Amino acid sequence: MKDKMDEVEIRARQWLIERGVTVDDIADLVFFLQKKYHKNLTKEECLKNVERVLAKREVQNAILTGIQFDVLAEKGMLEAPLQSIIETDESLYGVDEVLAFSIVNIYGSIGFTNYGYIDKEKPGILAYLNDKSSGKCHTFLDDIVGAIAAAASSRLAHRARNTE
């Protein structure tokens, strides 16, 4: 699949891995969201849907933008007050969620409910990304990963509905 990717997609995927997130981790989130709705759901089907979401340029741009802000905050390279807002993932700062909504919106309104649920539950990789004790800043990345899973879940739900 890598031979079909352009530089932006390759870099977005590379940055996810460098920040500790694999496609498999995101597929686990999709499985978590959809297992009770699809009796014969497989991990492979979840992976396929995550791959399709990651192939979207809007998603790649959101990944690159969000990770860049997280890294800059980690290095203390943002101006005040933005530095402390992002560094502490201030609860009233919603730009990270707005960026995530750009991903969620790709596959319709079901993505918003999937995203809201997974953002509250924080299963799997999301628990790691929300752990402030790691010394890493994932203010944007946790929402982006949740949004990718929500979008892939929505894609899966739409496709399943079309085959019923």
Structural domains counted in the chain:
1
List the end-to-end C-alpha distance of the chain, in Å, as a whole number: 29
Q: Can you give the residue range of the structural domain that contains 74?
A: 2-34+42-163
- What's the pTM? 0.94
Name the residue among 139, 162, 159, 141 with its Cα closest to residue 25: 141
- pLDDT for the residue numbered 132: 87
Question: Are 141 and 19 within 8 A, CB to CB?
Answer: yes
* pLDDT value at 159 more than 90: no
- pLDDT for the residue numbered 162: 53
pLDDT digits (tens, 9 = 90+) for 11-57: 999 999 999 999 999 999 999 999 999 989 999 999 999 999 999 99
**DSSP assignment of 37-60, as one string?**
T-TT--HHHHHHHHHHHHTSHHHH
Domain with 18 in it: what CATH number? 1.10.3760.10
